[in-house]
Structure 1
Amino acid sequence: MKKTIIGVMGPGETATSVDLENAYQLGQLIAKQGWILLTGGRNIGVMEAASQGAKSAEGLTLGILPGATSLGMSEAVDIAIFTNLGNARNIINVLSSDVIIACGMGAGTASEIALGIKQQKTVILLNNNLESQVFFKSLSPDRVYIVETPTEAIETVIYC
């Protein structure tokens, strides 16, 4: 039976302390559900925080990395997929995820959300950026959900 894969996408260098706290909690909650966490696999920002959160709850982590080596990879990644595709790996992140949770906002995150909408994935926005919420919700009112907490994000995954 296929395991559920939850992609947590978010900024690296520009992640806020709130983004990092939310990502860590998301990782924990995803692991507690028995789901697999998918991130961009790097040792920075939301990717690192979500992976560390999942590992703290004994979860399984999957990292889709931009390069061809483990340079810059999170130590909390169990399964590493080396793409050597740079930002083009975002489509792999999206296609490999059953649901996408965007934690925070940045250019790379926005591209993953847009790809998720294009691929008709369920996308959950966990951020306080009202402009992005309005924009992405307008593109897919039935598939984009806006939440305020990691717990609400997980409840939305279960509901969908």
Structure 2
Amino acid sequence: MPKVVIGVMGPGSEATAIDLQNAYTVGQLIATEGWVLLTGGRNTGVMQAASQGAKQAGGLTVGILPSAARAAMSEAVDIPVLTGMGSARNNINVLSSQVVVACGMGAGTASEIALALKAQKKVILLNKNASSQTFFKGLAPELVSVVEQPIAAIEIIKAFLSDEDHVNRTVE
């Protein structure tokens, strides 16, 4: 059986201290559950914090990098996927994840959430950005959950993964 892959997305250099702390903790908790962490793989922002958290907890990390080189890759990435695709790699990020957790908000994160919803993926918003919460919940209320604490995100993921319906979702 394939391993569970959980994507953690969020801003790079624009990430807030709260975004970084949430990402680090979510990364730790994902690893503790035995799930694989997937991020954008770079050595900045939410990508770096989540990967460091997962590594600290002994987890496996995958980084889907925008370039064809390892430059700017997080040292906490175990499996780098060099795409040379720039932001187009955002689609790989979400399609490879069973659940997407967004820590914070930026243009790249918003694109990843939109792609995840289009693909019928479960999305958890771990941020206090009311406008993004309203917008994304308006697009797909059944797929979007809003939480304030990392542990709440993990509980939602557990419940989602235990529901066999998620296995049968397909993209048309």
**TM bucket by the smaller chain?**
over 0.9
Q: For the residues of structure 2 that align with 1:137 and 1:61, how far apart are their CA atoms?
A: 29
| 2:104 paired with 1:107 | no
Aligned to 1:71: 71
Q: For the residues of structure 2 that align with 1:96 and 1:53, how far apart are their CA atoms?
A: 20
Where does the alignment leave 5 or more consecutive residues of structure 2 unmatched?
161-172
After TM superposition, the score normalised by the length of structure 1 is 0.99
Q: For the residues of structure 2 that align with 1:141 and 1:18, how far apart are their CA atoms?
A: 25
Q: For the residues of structure 2 that align with 1:121 and 1:82, how far apart are their CA atoms?
A: 23
Cα RMSD between the aligned structures? 0.3
2:139 maps to amino acid: L
Q: Following superposition of structure 1 onto structure 2, how do residues 95-134 of structure 1 map, counting pairs within 5 Å?
A: 95-134=95-134
Aligned to 1:26: 26
Residues 76-106 of structure 1 deviation map (CA, whole Å, 9 limit, x = unaligned): 0000000000000000001000000000000
Task: For residue 41 of structure 1, give the secondary structure of its aligned residue in structure 2.
Answer: coil
Residues 107-127 of structure 1 deviation map (CA, whole Å, 9 limit, x = unaligned): 000000000000000000000
Q: For the residues of structure 1 that align with 2:87 and 2:13, how far apart are their CA atoms?
A: 15
| 2:56 paired with 1:35 | no
| 2:55 paired with 1:55 | yes
Q: For the residues of structure 1 that align with 2:115 and 2:70, how far apart are their CA atoms?
A: 25
**Shift in Å, 1:159:** 1.1
Q: For the residues of structure 2 that align with 1:17 and 1:134, how far apart are their CA atoms?
A: 23
Aligned to 2:159: 159
Q: For the residues of structure 2 that align with 1:66 and 1:142, how far apart are their CA atoms?
A: 30
Task: For residue 22 of structure 2, give the secondary structure of its aligned residue in structure 1.
Answer: helix
After TM superposition, the score normalised by the length of structure 2 is 0.93
1:50 maps to amino acid: A
User: Among the aligned pairs, what percent are the same residue?
Assistant: 66
Q: For the residues of structure 1 that align with 2:82 and 2:127, how far apart are their CA atoms?
A: 28
Aligned to 1:13: 13
Q: For the residues of structure 2 that align with 1:65 and 1:159, how far apart are their CA atoms?
A: 30
Q: For the residues of structure 2 that align with 1:28 and 1:91, how far apart are their CA atoms?
A: 24
Structure 1 stretches of at least 4 aligned residues deviating more than 6 Å after TM superposition: none
